Structure 1
């Protein structure tokens, strides 16, 4: 059992015991120990975080789960549970509906969706105290950041996240308003109320009013003066609103620069395109502009510059929380640039990073091609004829000493050093045959024949291995090819060895299981062989056999034909044609 599996089982036990903190720790260790990303482990840890009410962490794990396994319905249940815990009912509803798309019988998804929809109905029935419109302002956060009274508060990411939640659930603020004093400050800033003035009147107007009515206008809330004081903050609020408009204008201008850059890119005016993409980035921080600039640099052949630009895009994208698909594109383009620079290892590294962010078929193909190219490159660098010869002689010595495993290792080294030398494959086949690894030996002989079709020894070794695994028909085919090649290139030097193997293959091919086998049993057994069946169904052979029954001498005439001779020999070996005394 792997350590990852052990941690997983321990985590399951802790979860059952409701020790959720311990379960989180154990599932985390299982994730670290896993050789490959495991969606189940992220799902389990998400469930633990939800039980601990740590819904942000639960959502992160749930999203990782569905990224690894997009077709696993249970992962979307985890997303739905975390979103529900965060009060994001619409997102929770989408997640549960996605789970039901994948698995219509998913009870957990049905229950979760029902709970979400009930909460949505309750939320709609609750009054939002007029806060819905206020918190739906898309520029709310920026306004608060630019307001001197709330700018410091906006440095707290948890508070910013809470305000974002009010956008979908404004009723929740009525529950938090009196427990979090910061919300009072924010509400006052949004409504244009000066809390400092209000605090002074509350503290001082009651005791001071009867004693000093002259001071009353400055201390009380009953005169007309506070109305004018309420207007002052409203005038101050115009400044951040104007800044917000400027930002939107900058974004629009940036998009115009990008569009111009795209036109120039298509016209292959890359220098000018780069200028426009750079201006777009200066106007508005969107890493798409950096990705586009890098594309132009890539087309110019400035691959190292493109890598620098894309590295910056990734770093800035992390800070800006850019869409993971855009970051994936940055990584993929870094991989492309390194491929052009000839650094395949770096190229592979960044393709893998891209796929970690977002799985894309095109990038996956590039990764596989780069891995193949690197493997081929490394193999070519390893080629060395002199060292190949050293390995061959070493293998020969091991073989002579009956040290078959080391002989295999030595011949494998020879093959790596000289992959086009047929002798390496043939010699390794001989050693593998000694180790009874006949299928591997046949494969090596095929490689040897592929490298050198006239290498007779490879044919002979292949046929021997085929006989060993009872592939008799295949062995005979190999021996026929060997005989033809031997006659063509060696004047039949290996004819005797080939004939001996041929007889062996034929005799074992149709060896009867019972010495008292009847002709009918012989015929039935032989007809199970595909070649014999084909011969017996051949109309020409049927005619020849019929003639032989009436005139045995006619068979001798027909056997002058090499093809007929071969078929007759096969039938004799099968016992269908019997020779000698009866």
Structure 2
């Protein structure tokens, strides 16, 4: 059975005044609840108070306000328990705290009035000398150990009454006469044996020296002045005494305190459900009205989150942010679930995103992830950061300043200030990210700094911006040769030659051919001058292009024929594809010419 179902049954048992059963049901609900629930402890405290078990009631009441220190009604419970124990100063303090949190708390107002009247009544009545008698802090333990009172102290209601008299000796007179058990307790405290002389024989003052030694000097002094019977005769019952017992107040209090709490939550959820229906129907104003009513009935920030969703859909982003900010503040005070607070921050981020305030959106997404990390919020944060970066980049674009940076870079390059040239061309790229010249020029400066891999990256960027930029191909091939990517350099130069022939009528063909020859010659040159022919042959076979040629069945047939008839090779080389492959094998040293 769920904690909520057990709670409902406990409420029903309480209304039926079956307080013991209610205690059991609320105890089961507390055990079944996934998270500590302050209302459950409050309800069980009410049941304990109704059973006059004020010590247990106080313990549960303190647990209630520990879980939710901002809940006004929890302090009602603490005040009622203290009142039942006779601790009127503590009761007054907690009722006042309840009213600080909620000035409309009727139960706290009534409890405070009751406590203050009782305090006033105590001040107006003499205590008949009982104050010092009940002043022993170990009084209850001594009574439990005394054979004459041990059985009596098993009655929790009687113990509560004794504790009440300890804090309010003025109320002792009437109760002393009405309850013979109190006579036995008084005699035990005074050290008098009431069994002497017969049941109906009156006590005589002359016998007071026979009394055993009392535990307190004050009791001994009191015994010398008058007998217990004489002590109570002069004081007639006062009207205030009949209403000053604090134990009566909490008995009816639980129905006033907790039942509205249960009803208000149910009513609030009902209003929320109606609001959800309006929201789905896109009737946002009606939905907001329902969510407002739910919040007024019961303070749960889920209702504020829902209201903000309706305001967001209306396009009222500023109001949604105000609502969600209130949800976060209230949630902090009520110690709401961190997942719900995370949702509030995420929705604030959504609203700022819609308003175009990306820095604030990012800030609130980060706050949300701090509370509770979810993939959806993390994705929104990443996308928002990318969008902000693009926006900042676009805002920085300025063609005029880009041209100034290009000319500055050219001046640095001419003077041999390669780092200065790199910085100037970087600024040009930021100011004109679509201009391929910035990347190509920076590649030239990076190559001077021997940073060839970065130069190749810049050339690739330049080519992606302008596929017909011949100079970018040439600079890329130069950098590839520098890092011994000879095959890649030759492929780059093949593309450069094709585009130069098509677009520039071969204006750069000489430079391209020179780089091609350089790449071809250096491609198979040994790094070790002492390399043997056999080692050179093995190294050449590791080249991917050479390996592919050697594994080609057609080339295998041609090479086989050439060994038998060299003149046949000349005939095959008339084919351009075969010619290129033969040249590669010659450069690699696979075919040796005389």
TM-score normalised to structure 1 length: 0.66
Give the C-alpha shift of residue 294 in structure 1.
0.2
Give the C-alpha shift of residue 232 in structure 1.
6.3
Between the two proteins, the alignment pairs up a number of residues equal to 423
Partner Cα distance (2:545, 2:570) in 1:
22
Q: Where does 1:374-393 land on structure 2 (aligned, <5 Å)? A: 374-393=388-407
Give the C-alpha shift of residue 146 in structure 1.
6.0
TM-score normalised to structure 2 length: 0.65
Q: Where does 1:50-199 land on structure 2 (aligned, <5 Å)? A: 135=59, 141-145=74-78, 147=80, 149=88, 150=91, 152-153=93-94, 194=164, 198-199=168-169
Structure 1 unaligned segments of length 5 or more: list them: 1-89, 95-128, 158-177, 180-186, 220-224
Q: Where does 1:506-525 land on structure 2 (aligned, <5 Å)? A: 506-513=520-527, 518-525=532-539
Give the C-alpha shift of residue 450 in structure 1.
0.6
- Which residue in 2 is equivalent to 1:214? 233
Partner Cα distance (1:461, 1:248) in 2:
79
Partner Cα distance (1:357, 1:451) in 2:
43
Could you tell which deviates more after superposition, 264-273 or 330-339? Answer: 264-273
Match of 1:472 among 465, 486, 495: 486
**CA 1:329–1:299 in 2, change beyond 3 Å: closer, same or farther?**
same
**CA 1:290–1:229 in 2, change beyond 3 Å: closer, same or farther?**
same
Q: Where does 1:421-460 land on structure 2 (aligned, <5 Å)? A: 421-460=435-474
**CA 1:384–1:560 in 2, change beyond 3 Å: closer, same or farther?**
farther
Are 1:533 and 2:547 counterparts? yes
Give the C-alpha shift of residue 531 in structure 1.
1.6
SS of 1:493's equivalent? coil
Match of 1:408 among 422, 430, 442: 422
Contact kept, 8 Å, 1:310 with 1:331, in 2: the verdict is yes
Contact kept, 8 Å, 1:142 with 1:244, in 2: the verdict is no
- Which residue in 2 is equivalent to 1:118? none
Partner Cα distance (1:132, 1:243) in 2:
18
Match of 1:252 among 266, 277, 286: 266
Contact kept, 8 Å, 1:143 with 1:241, in 2: the verdict is no
Give the C-alpha shift of residue 530 in structure 1.
1.6
Contact kept, 8 Å, 2:76 with 2:94, in 1: the verdict is no
Partner Cα distance (2:544, 2:576) in 1:
20
Partner Cα distance (2:234, 2:513) in 1:
129
SS of 1:152's equivalent? helix
Are 1:356 and 2:326 counterparts? no
Give the C-alpha shift of residue 474 in structure 1.
1.4
**CA 1:249–1:156 in 2, change beyond 3 Å: closer, same or farther?**
closer
Give the C-alpha shift of residue 455 in structure 1.
0.7
Contact kept, 8 Å, 1:348 with 1:367, in 2: the verdict is yes
Are 1:492 and 2:506 counterparts? yes
Give the C-alpha shift of residue 144 in structure 1.
1.9
Are 1:573 and 2:514 counterparts? no
Could you tell which deviates more after superposition, 508-517 or 376-385? Answer: 508-517
Partner Cα distance (1:488, 1:243) in 2:
92
Could you tell which deviates more after superposition, 347-356 or 134-143? Answer: 134-143
Partner Cα distance (2:427, 2:353) in 1:
29
SS of 2:233's equivalent? helix
**CA 1:491–1:551 in 2, change beyond 3 Å: closer, same or farther?**
farther
Contact kept, 8 Å, 1:398 with 1:406, in 2: the verdict is yes
Give the C-alpha shift of residue 230 in structure 1.
8.6
Partner Cα distance (2:307, 2:509) in 1:
71
Give the C-alpha shift of residue 195 in structure 1.
5.3
Give the C-alpha shift of residue 234 in structure 1.
2.0
**CA 1:266–1:151 in 2, change beyond 3 Å: closer, same or farther?**
farther
Could you tell which deviates more after superposition, 396-405 or 237-246? Answer: 237-246
Could you tell which deviates more after superposition, 372-381 or 208-217? Answer: 208-217
Give the C-alpha shift of residue 296 in structure 1.
0.7
Contact kept, 8 Å, 2:75 with 2:94, in 1: the verdict is no
Contact kept, 8 Å, 2:320 with 2:351, in 1: the verdict is yes
Contact kept, 8 Å, 2:272 with 2:290, in 1: the verdict is yes
Partner Cα distance (1:480, 1:132) in 2:
92
Structure 2 unaligned segments of length 5 or more: list them: 1-30, 36-52, 66-73, 99-136, 139-155, 173-185, 187-217
Give the C-alpha shift of residue 563 in structure 1.
2.8
Which digits, 9 at most, give the CA deviation of each residue in 1:447-490, with x for residues without a partner?
00111111111111111111111111211121112112212212
Contact kept, 8 Å, 1:411 with 1:424, in 2: the verdict is yes
Partner Cα distance (2:349, 2:516) in 1:
56
SS of 1:470's equivalent? coil
Q: Where does 1:34-45 land on structure 2 (aligned, <5 Å)? A: none
Match of 1:301 among 308, 315, 324: 315
SS of 2:360's equivalent? helix
**CA 1:393–1:152 in 2, change beyond 3 Å: closer, same or farther?**
same
Contact kept, 8 Å, 1:334 with 1:347, in 2: the verdict is yes
Partner Cα distance (1:295, 1:497) in 2:
66
Contact kept, 8 Å, 2:443 with 2:458, in 1: the verdict is yes
- Which residue in 1 is equivalent to 2:379? 365
- Which residue in 2 is equivalent to 1:43? none
- Which residue in 2 is equivalent to 1:341? 355
- Which residue in 2 is equivalent to 1:162? none
**CA 1:486–1:240 in 2, change beyond 3 Å: closer, same or farther?**
same
SS of 1:285's equivalent? coil
Give the C-alpha shift of residue 560 in structure 1.
3.5
Contact kept, 8 Å, 1:146 with 1:240, in 2: the verdict is no
Partner Cα distance (2:436, 2:64) in 1:
73
Are 1:331 and 2:301 counterparts? no
Partner Cα distance (1:377, 1:466) in 2:
35
Partner Cα distance (2:165, 2:575) in 1:
115
Give the C-alpha shift of residue 514 in structure 1.
5.6
